[in-house]
Amino acid sequence: MPNPGSILSATAPAHNTRTMPHTAAAGRYASMTYVRSGRSGLRLPRISLGMWNNFGTTRGWDTQRALVTHAFDRGITHFDLANNYGPPPGAAESAFGRVLAGDLRHYRDEIIVSTKAGYQMWDGPYGDWGSRKSMLASLDQSLHRTGLEYFDVFYSHRPDPETPIEETMGALAAAVRQGKALYVGISNYNAEQTRAAVIALRAENIPLTIHQPRYNIFDRKPEDALLATLDELGVGCIVFSPLAGGLLTERYLEGVPPGSRAAEGRWMNSSDIGEEYLATANALADIAERRGQTLSQLALSWVLRRPEVTSALIGASSIDQLDRNLAALDAAGLTTADLAAIDEYARQH
């Protein structure tokens, strides 16, 4: 892994831009619904934009800029980052910081920016996991890359099996006290770990505002205990991978297209697109078509059906894709018959 100095120098935001700042659409809030995160005062859009794997060297600057500004014009006020998002690690934070400084600087108070720490970012024992040293050093690096004075939400990206949860949660609390974060969150924690995190944060007099688990038609594990636990504790939920990394989209309904993640072996490979997948995905696409939706729109409607879910976190590689996914918010609610039909093809884990 590169050392932190090389990451910072390679990905520090360019705050000077020669383009005219973006003027946001006047009606940007008319078509978006905003829901409170648990029992907090923080309201999030029903669909948020995530920058994992789509912001960095794999996308041109003009595309990245257009996606962020268009999302804001459509009422998406929440932009989700992590220290290691790119590629390379750190690039997504730098790219977003550049858009914010050049196009959206007048709208900072209308925007929620979140980031995370917990995956490896630099060499040595302090560039990974959830120690106080790692968490707060990573936070300072993320602030530098984005050019921000604070993040709206700072997450522990994953539980650390070798660090007391009180230490990791204490680092999140310290970020709030230092004025570097307004709210705190966790991601990839199970129900028991979530309960322990809430207890540790209460000892710091800091509430847990939000949890970010993986949840989709092909991965229903949060239904086992996590969603009920979040509801009981008053913690919001923003789900990542609602489209199962592209498996719940139209992209693979006829096989593996060139240039796709499966074709390139990024996070999945062509062996994942077998006969069983194709039969299942096409059956779900038929259900979606009967509802006047695409498969991806159906998948978003499905995760948003749960009252515990505050927001669904999506990625996008084009404005057209983003708009098609946002159309899921205009669909009629899923009926009992719809849910029963989906359950025939949904996977519990």
pLDDT digit string, tens, across residues 136-178:
999 999 999 999 999 999 999 999 999 999 999 999 999 999 9
Q: 311-314 and 47-50 as β-strands: parallel, antiparallel, unpaired?
A: parallel
Structure tokens belonging to residue 147:
């050019």
Q: Identity (one letter) of the amino acid at 179?
A: G
Query: Rounded to an integer, what distance in angstroms lies between the CA atom of residue 4 and that of residue 90?
Result: 10
For the chain, give every domain's residue range. Answer: 4-20+28-343
| Mean pLDDT, rounded, of the chain | 91
HSE-CB at 153 with a 13 A cutoff on CA atoms is 31
* pLDDT over threshold 60, residue 186: yes
Q: What is the pLDDT of residue 294?
A: 97
Strands 34-36, 43-45: pairing kind:
antiparallel
Taking only the tens place, the pLDDT of each residue in 50-98 is 999 888 888 899 999 999 999 999 999 999 999 999 999 999 999 999 9
| Domain 4-20+28-343 in this protein, CATH class | alpha beta
What does the block give as tokens for 317? 């590689």
60-70 burial string, b = 16+ CB within 10 Å, else e? Answer: eeebbbbbbbb
Q: What is the pLDDT of residue 125?
A: 95
* DSSP conformation class of 156: E
Q: Which residue has the tokens 């939706």?
A: 293
* Model confidence, pTM: 0.92
Alpha helices in the chain (DSSP H): 4-11, 61-73, 91-102, 132-146, 165-177, 191-203, 226-233, 261-264, 275-290, 295-304, 319-326, 336-343
Mean pLDDT on 20-27: 93
Confidence of residue 344 (pLDDT cuts 50, 70, 90): very high
In this prediction, residue 10 carries a pLDDT of: 39
User: What percentage of the chain exceeds 90 in pLDDT?
Assistant: 82
Strand partners, 313: 48
Q: Write down the pLDDT at residue 2.
A: 41
* Res 269 pLDDT > 80: no
State pLDDT tens for residues 213-231: 999 999 999 999 999 999 9
Tokens found for residue 290: 């009967």
Model pLDDT, residue 59: 84
Number of H helices and number of E strands within the chain? 12, 10
Structure-model confidence comparison of residues 15 and 271, the more confident one:
271
**Alpha-carbon gap, residue 189 to 157, rounded angstroms:** 9
Average pLDDT of span 99-123: 97
Q: What confidence score (pLDDT) does residue 3 get?
A: 42
Looking at the DSSP assignment, which residues form a beta bridge with residue 116?
A: 155
Query: What is the β-pairing status of strands 78-80 and 47-50?
Result: parallel
Provide DSSP, 62-73.
Answer: HHHHHHHHHHHH
Confidence of residue 20 (pLDDT cuts 50, 70, 90): confident
Kindly state the DSSP code that residue 240 receives in the 8-state scheme.
B
What is the amino acid identity at position 226?
Answer: L
Split at pLDDT 50, 70, 90, the class of 267 is: low
Task: Check pLDDT > 50 for residue 194.
Answer: yes
Q: Which two tokens stand for residue 274?
A: 């077998």
